[in-house]
Structure 1
């Protein structure tokens, strides 16, 4: 979750055309058909304030009709040249149902963890509401419950400010809250993390748009207290260079 105005219009807006269908026995003006799309909203290299280089991805793929779709989402990162495995932040397979012209309800299963042979992945169930809030704020709100009953809430909000026909300024906010403690995954209850970013994107074509940006991230509450207790920084800033790609 999403800088996904174009994708959201394709995912959500077809329901508007169907909303005007007056009588049940009238023929549909356009037959429902199945199609799909793959979007890499973030495919980037990051330089952090800790002088680490990260390769980051944030993608979504879907296939289906106007109301019912199968959706796959994935986010993750890899710290370059440190020998550590890739960190899979999420990989989710979801059923998506259009509940209104601008919102879809999604439910399914996911997994996350380090992609190494000796790591134990965290499996969870997830429910989400994805769509366009008033004033065209793009939102993806997810509630996750793992096999131990630990509950986490993640909210992602983006807004696209169109500067020219082909360039955009995009602020982005991600907020994470743990509704329960988790000793196994070292998560403390309460607001956990906030990340604020800003990207400038220029479209070479509709399908390929490179961007540059910055971000600031901070641990919050009990999570920040725990990080301080082990002598680590609670904040991070970074510079990003990447591209938004869809097909």
Structure 2
């Protein structure tokens, strides 16, 4: 019986020492000091050929700087149609402050602008709030909510998913949905669901930082936005092929 008590005492002492060893004293230095870093990512930098024989240069990029919890982001999307004599169209350019609120999720807030990149153009300025991160099953999402100077409210959802085919190749479906909660007639954005776009890209990594890709997409205007485009003599749907590169540094 005495031997059993001795063994139990030694076992308890060993467990206690292991538990205490995992806790640092208050005056001990941190094992990993906080630090700041950054990244510039071009998720899409591509040449597009549409079914209407239009040639487009498209970009979708983001840059960030900060630590594990707090960061500053710059996001930009836009396109330029070659040969049409018009300046590039800025779909969005945003500066946001970001805070990590859960594993893989950040809440962001800031300001943005969109419209023609012509000198002196009257662009739309807005406040933007975003929920940015990775949903279960590794869906990368950027959900945003904007309010412009006139109080017009719009929202968008973007989702991507990487299907790994090998160590260096991926198949990536992509979905984008745009909607408006209020009419913004001056910006040709009626209330309701406005656009949906789905795409599929095959990407091959020559290195982690540089990955060319090819793909296809289909987009369609919806509801009141489709009616508006038809009244103007345009096409409410578009299909295209893309070739581009995803790169970061």
TM-score, normalised relative to structure 2:
0.88
1:197 paired to 2:199: yes
**Greater CA radius of gyration, 1 or 2?**
2
Cα offset for 1:24? 9.6
Deviation at 1:23, TM superposition (A): 7.9
Instruction: Indicate how the Cα distance of structure 1 residues 83 and 29 shifts in structure 2: closer, same or farther if over 3 A, else same.
Output: same
Structure 1 equivalent of residue 11 of structure 2:
none
CA distance in 2, matches of 1:229, 1:123: 27
How far residue 118 of structure 1 moved from its aligned partner, in angstroms, is 3.7
- Aligned to 1:168, what secondary structure does the other structure show? strand
Cα distance in 1 between the residues matched to 2:174 and 2:53: 23
Structure 1 stretches of 4+ with a deviation exceeding 2 A read 21-29
Q: What is the TM-score with the length of structure 1 in the denominator?
A: 0.89
CA RMSD for the aligned pairs?
1.4
In 2, Cα distance between the equivalents of 1:120 and 1:240?
Answer: 30
C-alpha spacing 1:132/1:24, structure 2 compared with 1 (3 Å): farther
- 1:240 is aligned to 2:238: no
SS in 2 for 1:233: coil
The aligned residue for residue 86 of structure 2 is 84
Residue-pair matches, total: 227
Q: Give the aligned partner of residue 122 of structure 2.
A: 120
Distance 1:24 1:83 in 2: 67
| Counterparts of residues 63-212 of structure 1 (less than 5 Å) | 63-212=65-214
Give the whole-Å Cα distance in 2 for the aligned partners of 1:143 and 1:71. Answer: 16
For structure 1, the 5+ residue unaligned runs are: 1-20
| Deviation per residue, 1:195-230 (Å, 9 max, x gap) | 000000000000000000000000011111111222
Question: Which runs of 5 or more residues in structure 2 are unaligned?
Answer: 1-21
TM-aligned CA deviation for residue 187 of structure 1: 1.1
